[in-house]
Amino acid sequence: MDYKDTQAALSTITYNKNEIEAQTENIYEAISIIAKRATQINSDLKKELVDKLDEFATYNDSLEEVFENKEQIEVSKFYERLPKPTAIAVEEWLNEKVYFRTPDAE
């Protein structure tokens, strides 16, 4: 999924509890699902960032030389400006874009 085009909030906002628990009718289950999705989003974003930063990696044994790569800085700043994974997960949950299932208790 493309997390760069999300409409998630960049800062903290208050959500309606009834909207959060509407799909499961259990606030704890809803929060658990949202937390698991936020973990997935975070790992995806981290992998993507590490892959992009590896393109700029220079392998020197010298600790004296420190290179400032403006493109690397811009990539890092772009990922810092993205909404937090929890905000993206809540937005997906409220728009019913998260698939979840509960195993039968039988």
pLDDT digits (tens, 9 = 90+) for 16-39: 999 999 999 999 999 999 999 999
Query: Which residues are within 8 A (CB) of 59 and not within 5 positions of it... i.e. 6 or more apart?
Result: none
Number of domains in the chain: 1
Element (H, E) at 52: helix 27-54
pTM passes above 0.85: no
pLDDT of residue 34: 95
Domain-embedded: residue 101: no
Domain-embedded: residue 99: no
Q: The tokens of 58 are what? A: 């220079």
At residue 33's C-alpha, the angle toward residues 29 and 35, to 5°, is 115
Domain-embedded: residue 104: no
pLDDT digits (tens, 9 = 90+) for 51-71: 888 887 766 655 555 566 788
Which residue range(s) make up the domain with 88?
3-57+66-94
Domain-embedded: residue 106: no
Domain-embedded: residue 103: no
Domain-embedded: residue 47: yes
Q: Is 93 helix (H, G, I), strand (E, B) or coil?
A: helix
The Cα 47–Cα 104 span in angstroms is: 34
